[in-house]
Amino acid sequence: MKKGYPEVGEFVIGTVKTVKPYGAFVTLDEYEGKEGFIHIGEIATGWIKYIRDHVREGQKVVCKVLRVDPERGHIDLSLKRVNEHQRREKIQEWKNERKAQKLLEIVAQRLGKKVEECYEEFAYELMGKYGGLYPAFEEAAINEDALEDEGFKGDWAKVFVNVAKENIVPPYVKISGYLELSTSAPDGIEKIKKVLEKIEDEDVTVTYVGAPRYRVMVKAEDYKTAEEILQRAAKKALELFKKMGGEGEFHRRL
C-alpha cells in the first residue's frame, strides 16, 4: 500500500463503496484508509438518467484524480476522463503491484522478518526510487546489479534479487563485469580506447569507472546468453590489449 495521498492527474484503482443519486464514494485500493468521490458529472459523458447504469457497489474502477485536499481528507475523482488505453494500463500496473506484494512476502519469509518490517527497512524506499514495488523487482530481474548501482545495500538485497530472478521473466537481462587495463606506453590511453571500441556493439557497452577499471555491461535475452557474451568480450579485450603490450584482468565483480 502507498503512503499519503495520490497526486492530481494520477490514475488510481478503486472499489465503489456507496452509490448515491449525486455520485459515488470509492475506496482507493492502493492507498490505505483513503476514499474518493466521483461526482455524477464525472461518471460519464452526456446526461445520466440512472447512475447505477454506470456504477454499482463493489465494482472495480479506474479513476483520474482531479483534486486533493489533505486537510479535509477529500479526493475528487473522475471516471469519464479515463480512456480505454489508460484503463488497461492502470489495471495491468495494479495486477503487477499485487504480484509484487506476494513476492515481498517471499522475501520477508526468507529473511525471517514481517512484511511490515520489510516495507519500513527497504520496500518504501524502493517504491520511491522506482515508482512502485513491481518495477523494482523487474529491474532487479533485468539487471542483477541494479540495486547495488543505486546504492541499496544490506542482506535483504541479495534475497530480493534472487526472488526477482526466480519469479519475473523480463524482456531482457543485464549483467556486468570489470576490466582492469594498465600500460606504461605513452599512448596507453589511446590503446585502451581502441581495445574497448573493438568489443562494443549493440549488446555490449563499456563505461569508465575509475583508472584502471572499466565496466562492461551486457544486455541479452537470458542470463546464460549474457554470461557467454560477457566472458567472450572480456577475453577478446584482454587478448587484444596483451598484443599491444598492456596488462589486464577481468573481474566478474569488484
pLDDT given at position 211: 77
Spatial neighbors of 76 by CB under 8 A, at least 6 apart, are 36, 37, 38, 39, 42, 65, 66, 67, 68
Q: Tell whether 37 is covered by a domain.
A: yes
Parallel/antiparallel/unpaired status of strands 35-39 and 74-78: parallel
Q: How deeply is 40 buried, as exposed, middle or buried, from its count of CB atoms within 10 A (0-12, 13-18, 19+)?
A: middle
* 68 and 125 housed in the same domain: no
Say yes or no: 151 and 225 in one domain. no
Query: Domain for residue 2, yes or no?
Result: no
- Final residue in a domain of this structure, among 105, 138, 167: 167
229: in domain: yes
* CA 185 from centroid of its chain's CA atoms: 44
Cβ neighbours around 200 below 10 Å, total: 13
Measured between alpha carbons, how far is 1 from 157 in angstroms, rounded to an integer?
A: 21
- The answer to the question of residue 230 being in a domain is yes
Among candidate residues 35, 58, 82, the one where a domain is terminated = 82
**Is 124 contained in some domain?**
yes
Across the 254 residues of the chain, what is the mean pLDDT of every consecutive 10-residue run?
87 96 95 94 92 95 96 95 94 93 96 95 93 92 88 93 92 88 90 92 89 90 90 94 93 78
Separation in Å, CA 39 to CA 25, 53, 254: 9, 15, 57
Do 179 and 141 share a structural domain?
no
- Residue 25 structural domain: 11-82
Q: Are 89 and 162 in a shared domain?
A: yes
Q: Are 16 and 34 in the same domain? A: yes
Q: Identify whether residues 63 and 17 lie together within a single domain.
A: yes
- Judge if 90 and 50 occupy the same domain: no
- Looking at the 3D structure of the chain, how many domains does it have? 3
Say if 3 falls within a structural domain: no
Same domain for 67 and 127, yes or no, is no
CATH number at residue 212: 3.30.70.1130
| pLDDT recorded at residue 254 | 61
Q: Are residues 158 and 199 in the same domain?
A: no
Burial class (CB in 10 A: 0-12, 13-18, 19+), 118: buried
Residue 152's pLDDT is: 93
pTM: 0.64
Residue 212: its pLDDT value, please? Answer: 87
Whether 76 maps to a domain, the answer reads: yes
Q: Does residue 5 sit within a domain?
A: no
Distances (CA, A) of 61 to 52, 55, 88, 192: 14, 9, 11, 57
Residues 242 and 207 in one domain: yes
Query: Domain check: are 75 and 94 in the same one?
Result: no
Grid cell of 6 as nine digits: 495520490
**29 and 44 both lie in a single domain:** yes
Residue that terminates a domain, selected from 167, 182, 206:
167
At residue 210, the pLDDT reads 82
Q: At 56, which CATH number?
A: 2.40.50.140
